[in-house]
Chains A and B, each alone.
Chain A
Amino acid sequence: MTSSKVLGTFVVNGEPHEVAYAPHKTLLEVLREDLGLTGTKHGCELGECGACTVLLDGTPVVSCLVLAQEVEGRAIRTIEGLADGPDLHPLQDLFAELGASQCGYCSAGFMLAASELLERNPDPTRDEIRAAVAGNICRCTGYIKIFEAIELAAARLRGEQGQPTREMLYGS
């Protein structure tokens, strides 16, 4: 059994990072502890909460159950790579505008899972959105604002206005 570190290259948000890491670490641990990318959150560590969701070759997975050694060289996208340079992703704008992010701990996971849905399905129904984020748990919002934010982000990505209604912002 080996206890010393191994050297590997992780392609995170399009950039290769060479890093020495303990070989039994999960992707979550390498991202946070060895690459300093703490946007990916550390929740239940058992795959139940979705706080650590990242995209692996475009597919959302829980990084707490991905062994880092298995994903060297593969395309990893974290919340730090969701914006396009200085321009936030519409999901990020809308989560902020609507208050879909309260304590914020679940937000990165939600936005990454939702970003994959919107790539695959640009005009999802409310039920399709609910199904796509069924693996992400939020204890603050009650989910409604998250669903609305994803719907409006979808509209903006389709080139529509996607403006929140007065009701969405202030209630009825």
Chain B
Amino acid sequence: MLRLPKFTLHRPTSAADAVRIAAGHGPEASYVAGGTDLYPNMKRRVQRPTHVVSLSRCADLRSRAGVAGAEVTLGAMTTLTAIERDPWLQEHYPAFVHAASVISTPLLRNMGTIGGNLLLDTRCNYYDQNYEWRESISFCMKCDGSTCWVAPSSPRCWAVQSSDTVPLLCAIGAHVTLLGPDGERRIPLTDLYRDDGIAYTTKRPGELLTHLHLPALNGWRASYRKLRRRGSFDFPVLGVGACLHFDGDVVTRAEVRIGGAGSHAIPAVKTAAMLVGQRLRRDDAASGELIRAAAQEAYKPTRAMDNTDLDAAWRKKMAPVFVSRAIQDCL
């Protein structure tokens, strides 16, 4: 049986109290939102906080504020089901709602939150295993060991960014607010992440992600395309977020992020650069050609490794295909 280790639970009623309690326990403390990532990790003994600070009673983390045409702010404790079923978000932020709706299963979306999904632990076939399994390979670099079994000569960990919302939200330019012992700060979501399987965020000790800010709607269009084995339930083994800004049918800004294929949502810089300034139209042969050529540039930066489901070389080959489809969706 996989049981949780012993720990002390704290149930504060505000974000400020949660931060204060966590600060009192330093690295021994962990926040928990829906519990769908932390508790499995605790059962596998890859995360071992002795103090767990639950955010379930923090009413100030469940709000939605903002109107169409202005920035929209979501509390970090908004469940993924609440996002999926919100008619207003469905109308105004359909790509975001789609990305949230393809996460995991309905049962886990009823529990899991947007804050938790943004901070989802990186995943790896050698890490997401129980203690005895990991012990049998002398553990891995991400937890209890020193070798990265995906790339044994590697000085770094290659665990994979596996959140569905992150590539999309990075592409559209979302921001987040973090509350810590030293006060509050607001950063672009892209600055929250680092290209490292272990230290995959820039969150400072004790900081709590309190809010997600979706950018105002001003003519940009976005899409998220997910590759997984089962249509019903799986982490992305490739997840492409794309966002295009237009002046008429001329692309003024483009951002493409490749998830599930590296330790962060990788920016497809060349792809985006090839699109800016170009005239793109739906069902237009020249536009199709240009998009295919630009999408091909996403092959190289995609770092698919043999540490998730499905064949790594095939996942890498699929990157231009999914990038192309995501861009087409934006037309």
Contacts and interface: CB of A to CB of B under 8 A. Distances in A.
A135 B11 contact: no
A78 interface: no
B106 A47 contact: no
B47 to A, nearest CB: 13
8 contacts: A23-B8, A24-B6, A42-B1, A46-B40, A47-B108, A65-B36, A67-B54, A113-B106
A115 to B, nearest CB: 13
Contacts of B9: 23-24, 67, 69-70
Interface residues of A, number: 32
Interface of A: 1-3, 22-26, 29, 42, 45-48, 50, 53, 59-62, 65-67, 69-70, 113, 130-132, 134-136
Contacts of A42: 1
Contacts of A134: 105-106, 232-233
A48 B309 CA distance: 15
A45 B232 contact: no
Nearest to B5: A24
Contacts of B6: 1-3, 22, 24
B35 A1 contact: no
Contact of A70 (B3, B7, B54, B107): B54
B13 interface: no
A65 B39 CA distance: 6
B152 to A, nearest CB: 27
B110 A59 contact: yes
B23 interface: no
Contact of A135 (B1, B2, B40, B108): B108
Contacts of A61: 107, 110-111
A29 B39 CA distance: 14
Given A1-B50, A134-B105, A66 B111 contact: yes
Interface in B53-82: 54, 56, 81
